[in-house]
């Protein structure tokens, strides 16, 4: 029960301990409301309708996937590094084959060098590397390099799909515009002679990948370090819809410096 006393000017007076409780309650409510009350967003605002890729959108890239899908993305220029560290100490003994198979594809294609325009108007010479049914069984990390004061990291803890088969069974291809220095580590035999083994990195600009035709091999690799400016998934025959073509289970996403 609230004990009050009426003052001469009409005001009511509470005992001091109740006043303290009321003040604390009021402050708490004020804090709650102030904390959750709608305010203006902290985002850096950009006027709507502004061209987002240079004057007149002139800095868009003109790219075509291996499946023939034409795209005009505005590329940030930030590198996405797809890393799978190899476990070279666990090479097999026959031809030094990969012991730990960490990624797999069922076909690969690499274009010649392409000139790709970035958002800032500069261009870069990149290869279009296309994987069919790209899946990773362990240790893959996707991390940005060269961001504007940040690093974005996606780190799945379990088998991941970066193309693979879509969730409804459609074969998905992954087109990646990568630097020539990007590395793949996989085993590849020619006439039973090991061409690449678990101990040798293969640069993307290596001649053996220099074809626009599919190398329709099931390849399993033990490591990679791909520096991609742009990655896109499509079906083999064109655009894809209704298929979860990228699946990253048990994944931590962090933003760091």
Calculate ∠ Cα 240-246-248, nearest 5°: 165
Considering the complex, state which of residue 113 and residue 158 has its C-beta at the smaller distance from another protein.
158
For the CA atoms of the chain, what is the radius of gyration? 28
Residues with Cβ within 8 Å of residue 84, at least 6 apart in sequence: 102, 103, 136, 138, 139, 140, 141, 221, 222, 223, 224, 225
Q: Is 242 a binder of another protein (CB under 8 A)?
A: yes
With contacts defined by CB under 8 A, name the span among 87-95, 107-115, 210-218, 238-246 that binds another protein: 238-246
Considering the complex, state which of residue 210 and residue 238 has its C-beta at the smaller distance from another protein.
238
Nearest to 162 by CA among 183, 132, 190, 196: 132
Near another protein in 52-81, by CB under 8 A: 52-53, 69, 71, 73-78, 80
Considering the complex, state which of residue 92 and residue 147 has its C-beta at the smaller distance from another protein.
147
Q: Is 115 a binder of another protein (CB under 8 A)?
A: no
Q: Is the dihedral of CA 99, 104, 109, 115 positive or negative?
A: negative
Q: Is the dihedral of CA 45, 48, 53, 55 positive or negative?
A: negative
Closest distance to another protein from the beta carbon of 235 (Å): 9
Torsion of CA 21, 26, 31, 33, to 10 degrees: 140
Which member of 33, 93, 192, 193 binds another protein (CB under 8 A)? Answer: 33
Near another protein in 164-193, by CB under 8 A: 167, 177
Q: Is 204 a binder of another protein (CB under 8 A)?
A: no
With contacts defined by CB under 8 A, name the span among 45-53, 85-93, 106-114, 182-190 that binds another protein: 45-53
Q: Is 1 a binder of another protein (CB under 8 A)?
A: no
Task: Give me 157's structure tokens.
Answer: 């803890």
Which member of 103, 127, 131, 230 binds another protein (CB under 8 A)? Answer: 230
Q: How far is 239 from 67, CA to CA, in rounded Å?
A: 8
Which member of 144, 179, 197, 202 binds another protein (CB under 8 A)? Answer: 144
Q: How far is 130 from 105, CA to CA, in rounded Å?
A: 10
Which member of 42, 56, 169, 207 binds another protein (CB under 8 A)? Answer: 42
């Amino acid at each position: 029960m609230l004990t009050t006393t009426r003052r001469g000017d009409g005001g009511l007076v509470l005992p001091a301990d109740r006043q303290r409780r009321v003040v604390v309650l009021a402050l708490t409510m004020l804090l709650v409301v102030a904390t959750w009350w709608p305010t203006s967003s902290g985002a850096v605002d950009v006027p709507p309708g502004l061209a987002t890729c240079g004057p007149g959108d002139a800095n868009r890239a003109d790219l075509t996937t291996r499946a023939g899908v034409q795209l005009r993305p505005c590329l940030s220029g930030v590198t996405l590094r797809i890393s799978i560290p190899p476990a070279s100490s666990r090479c097999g003994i026959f031809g030094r084959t990969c012991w730990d198979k960490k990624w797999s594809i069922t076909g690969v294609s690499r274009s010649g060098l392409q000139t790709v325009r970035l958002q800032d108007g500069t261009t870069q010479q990149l290869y279009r590397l296309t994987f069919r049914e790209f899946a990773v069984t362990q240790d893959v990390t996707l991390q940005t390099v060269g961001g504007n004061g940040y690093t974005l990291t996606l780190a799945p803890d379990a088998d991941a799909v970066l193309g693979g088969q879509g969730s409804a069974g459609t074969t998905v291809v992954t087109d990646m515009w990568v630097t020539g220095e990007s590395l793949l580590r996989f085993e590849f035999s020619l006439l039973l002679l090991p061409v690449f083994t678990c101990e040798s990195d293969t640069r993307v600009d290596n001649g053996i990948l220099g074809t626009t035709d599919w190398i329709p091999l099931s390849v399993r690799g033990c490591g990679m370090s791909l520096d991609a400016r742009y990655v896109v998934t499509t079906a083999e025959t064109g655009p894809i819809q209704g298929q979860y073509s990228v699946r990253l289970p048990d994944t931590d996403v962090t933003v760091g410096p």
